[in-house]
Amino acid sequence: MLSADFIKQQASALGFQACGIARATALPKDEFPLQEWLAAGFYADMDYMQRHADKRQDPRLLVDGARSIISLLLAYKPDRRMEGPHRIAQYAYGEDYHERLKRMLYQLMESVAGRYPDFSARAFVDTAPISDRHWAQRAGLGWLGKNTLLIHPQWGSYCYIGELVTTAEFDHYDTPMSDRCGDCRRCVDACPNHAIVSRGGENPFQVDARRCTSYNTIENRSETLPSQLDTRGYVFGCDICQLACPYNEQVPASIPLTNDRKAELEQLPQADETAFRRFTKHSPLNRIRYPQWRRNLKH
């Protein structure tokens, strides 16, 4: 049995802002209403969300013998934002978070194995059928806001999430954090496309990707964007519901946006395809191709 405190100490030493541990079990449908969301058509054309739905609901089907899930947060709020008519979601200002978090997760695995040689785990960063937000909530790292994003009491929703799914057991596990949004609807009301939909029941709010600027500017592969889509100048992702959140207003900056990087981001709309591909190679912006980028700029 492993020490949960030791894992958290090692995670903090590596630079993670938060670490929590939950038992690996199936997520009940009232906690993770995946089938309800799919049935409503809210996944748009993200057909991959329908694949391996059983694994999304139960990580023990993803990793044989899984007993625990270690969730980790890395804050990314920059100390300032882009200026100008075109905007990029703040999470994409810097290095590709998939690459950065994977490095850190592997370092954590090595550190843990130094004390527990039999430690075995698989690292995931938004690249497998596992619901990062729900497991982070289970691990006591925050609650799910009405915009369905994880909200940490100190770092808000400006956090990358990664996890280690392991066969190890721990001496204690964390308690899920209760909802602290109360009656606040600022994120719901702020969305210009009304993408945060109220459906009533135990999971009253879900995001309809078909209306979401983030989905349309990244995942949507059509030649044109929906004519009625109000992007408010966002050409990759969207921060509107996050900017409206009272918790995010008080979140301290964790990443400096240098003058050079800020200038590069603001000049990117004028870049040709070669320059765009060079700039985005190790950036979250590599999620889209140049024709999509030009489409978004023209909308």
Q: pLDDT tens across 32-59, in order?
A: 999 999 999 999 999 999 888 899 999 9
Question: Are the beta carbons of 75 and 68 closer than 8 angstroms?
Answer: no
Lowest mean pLDDT among 13-27, 45-59, 230-244: 45-59
How does residue 199 score in pLDDT terms, banded at 50, 70 and 90?
confident
Q: Which two tokens stand for residue 33?
A: 């209403």
Measure the CA–CA gap between 196 and 66, rounded to whole angstroms: 33
| Active site (catalytic) residues | 126
pLDDT at site 99:
94
* pLDDT above 70 (res 201): no
Q: How confident is the model over 60-98, as pLDDT tens digits?
A: 999 999 999 999 999 999 999 999 999 999 999 999 999
Give the count of beta carbons closer than 10 Å to the beta carbon of residue 162.
25
Evaluate whether 237 touches 88 at the Cβ level (below 8 Å): yes
Q: Residue 202: what pLDDT?
A: 64
Cα–Cα distance measured from residue 24 to residue 22, given in angstroms and rounded to the nearest whole number: 6
Render pLDDT for 94-114 as a digit per residue (tens, 0 to 9): 999 999 999 999 999 999 999
Q: With both helix axes pointing from N to C terminus, report the angle between 273-280 and 290-298 in degrees, rounded to the nearest 10.
A: 110
What does the pLDDT look like over 171-190, one tens digit per residue?
A: 999 999 999 999 999 999 99
| All domains of the chain in start order, with CATH | 4-81+90-166 (3.40.109), 186-298 (no CATH)
So what's the pLDDT on residue 203?
A: 65
Q: What are phi and psi of 142, to 5 degrees?
A: 155, -170
Contact 218, 236 (CB under 8 A): yes
Q: Which of 59, 203, 72, 76 is CA-nearest to residue 140?
A: 72
| Weakest mean pLDDT among 43-52, 155-164, 282-291 | 43-52
Q: Across the chain, what does the average pLDDT equal?
A: 96
